[in-house]
Structure 1
Amino acid sequence: MLFALIALGACGRSDHLGKPPSFTPTAASPETTAMVDPGLPIAIIEERPVDRASLWSGTRASLLGDRRAVVRGDILTVVIEIDEEAEISNSTDRRRNGSESLNIPNLAGIPQRLDRELPEGATSADLVGLNSASSSGGDGSVTRSEKLTLRVAATVIDVLPNGVLAISGSQELRVNFELRELLVTGYVRPADISRQNEITYDKIASARVSYGGRGQITDVQQPRIGQQVLDAVLPF
């Protein structure tokens, strides 16, 4: 078991032992597949001879043509600007006191007979007495601040039957022995794409944004495999 854990921990670092981490191959990525096989062709407006001398010919290749992503294989820019803060504070306080007493001065002479059997100073006048007190208090607070500004090029990997575009984008940046990865996927409406062929992250449905990395610094920041296993199985 020990050797298996050691081998498992080494597998994740074997890519960058003594060398920078390798880039992810792009040959088999969804973006490359969409560009190589763009799917069904779109209708192309036939260019007339008179249109060749005009700045506007109705085609995407013209000077004023609409170059926004619309078909599979097209590229658009995703703008991720997150600047959010959240603060929640709760406080509760609850108290309760209770007191109960029960006495039976006359019950067929039983209390009087009982008093004769009781030790000196004891009496059955107050047969039962109960007191209770309870209190509870709680305080909780949550403070969160996030700020992220990124731009990444994404590719239209599919066009759904209702015209919505499925996009996927990835970006990798390697500095010395640390590789930073940015991944984004989701669904966008063509109408939400700006004239600059850009779309903000808040207009992407089912958006999945990942910003992380791998390399020597990330390895040092992560707990060891054995520690993670113990954290998962130990009940205390």
Structure 2
Amino acid sequence: MLPLAAAALALSACERMSEVGQPPPMTPVAFSDEHMAMMQPGLPIEMQPVLGPETLTAASLWTGERGSLLGDRRAMTRGDILTVVIEIDDSASFNNASGRSRSGSQDLAIDEFFALPQFIDNNGGPNMSPAVGLSSSSAFAGDGSVTRTEQLTLRVAATVTEVLPNGVLQIQGRQEVRVNNEIRELLVDGYVRPADITRQNEITYDKIAAARISYGGRGMISDVQRPRWAAEATELMLPF
């Protein structure tokens, strides 16, 4: 097990050595899930028959098609794009305190037992009254507090990668921004209902089921903030 772990760490170190003096590479867009969803649309949806003569529908200025002024331009099929609005402003504070104390005392005296106490006392032995004494005490006190504050405001374009049989849309979005030698990346994944998408083709993060939102970075600054791989390996292998 140890040689395998050492080999894995060595391969990881060699991969990072190739980035020395170079900015971190960005994830290619080609052949990604979003790209495949746009290149391979889903099954065609059965269209409802249009009421009225086709000539009148074709000549009308107010049609229900997506390209018209009054058409529904919300994402609804595989390959469509919508905007995910992430506005997280959460704060929580917990304070817990508990205390417990207990004390007890017991005495056992033997005054008469076939004149054995008198015999022991007259010979200068130990006193039999009391013969047994017990006492105990315990105390416990605990105090704990948790304070958490999170604030995040982001917008990212996501792609409909699949339309489930019940009509729910599976979306996935990825955004990468490289500034100097640091890449900030935002990942969004989850399921949304078409009815929750606004007329502006936007949806808030709290309406995404099984939402997976990741916001982080990679590059020179992130590497400095992380411990070295040898320190991580040492912490992992040490039993104490």
Structure 1 and Structure 2 fold alike (TM over 0.5): yes
Question: How far is 1:44 from its partner?
Answer: 4.8
1:209 corresponding residue in structure 2: 213
- By how many angstroms is 1:58 displaced? 1.4
CA distance in 2, matches of 1:162, 1:203: 17
**Structure 1 counterpart of 2:159:** 155
Deviates more, 1:99-108 or 1:4-13: 4-13
Distance 2:36 2:185 in 1: 20
- What is the alpha-carbon root mean square deviation over aligned residues? 2.1
Cα distance, 1:113 vs. partner?
2.5
CA distance 1:6–1:33, change in 2 (3 Å): closer
In the alignment, is residue 128 of structure 1 matched against residue 132 of structure 2?
Answer: yes
Q: Distance in 1 between matches of 2:231 and 2:217?
A: 21
Change (3 A) 1:59 1:5: closer
The residue number in structure 2 matching 1:113 is: 119
Counterparts of 2:193 and 2:150 in 1: how far apart (Å)? 27
Residue 107 of structure 1 deviates from its aligned partner by 1.5
Distance in 2 between residues matched to 1:80 and 1:199, nearest whole Å: 9
Contact 1:177 1:216 in 2 (8 A): yes
SS at match of 2:176: strand
For 2:25 and 2:77, the matched residues in 1 are separated by: 31
Give the equivalent residue in structure 1 for 2:181.
177
- Which of these residues, 16, 24, 27, is aligned with residue 13 of structure 1? 16
The answer to whether the Cα contact below 8 Å between 1:159 and 1:166 also exists between their aligned partners in 2 is yes
Structure 1 residue 3 displacement after superposition: 7.3
**Alignment CA distance shift 1:55-1:14 (3 Å):** farther
Letter in 1 for 2:91: E
1:34-85 CA-partner distances (Å, limit 9, x unpaired): 1111111224576944345544211111111001011111111000000000
User: Any unmatched runs of 5+ in structure 2?
Assistant: none
Contact conserved, 1:158 with 1:166, CA < 8 A, in 2? yes
CA shift in 2, pair 1:5/1:165, >3 Å: closer
Q: Is the 8 A contact 1:5 1:226 kept in 2?
A: no
Unpaired runs of at least 5, structure 1: none
Change (3 A) 1:134 1:230: same
Residue 60 in 1 paired to residue 63 in 2?
A: no
**Alpha carbons of 1:185 and 1:15: their partners in 2 closer, same or farther (altered >3 Å)?**
farther
Query: Are 2:96 and 1:90 aligned?
Result: yes
- CA, structure 1 residues 133+171, in 2 after alignment: closer, same or farther (shift >3 Å)? same
Q: How many residues align?
A: 234
CA displacement 1:141-190 (0-9 Å, x = unmatched): 00000000010000111111111111100000000000111000000001
> Equivalent of 2:77, from 71, 78, 85?
71
2:234 partner SS: helix
Note if contact 2:42-2:163 (Cα within 8 Å) is conserved in structure 1. Answer: no
CA distance in 2 between partners of 1:137 and 1:235 (Å): 30
Corresponding residue for residue 36 of structure 1? 39
Question: C-alpha distance in 1, partners of 2:210/2:29?
Answer: 24
> Cα distance, 1:227 vs. partner?
1.0
Question: How far did residue 5 of structure 1 move?
Answer: 6.8
> Is residue 16–residue 215 contact of structure 1 (8 Å, CA) maintained in 2?
no
Residue 50 of structure 1 corresponds to which residue in structure 2? 56
Which residue in the other structure is 2:109 paired with? 103
- In structure 2, which of residues 5, 26, 29 is the aligned counterpart of residue 26 of structure 1? 29
SS class of match (1:105): coil
Preserved CA contact (<8 Å) 1:15 1:22: no
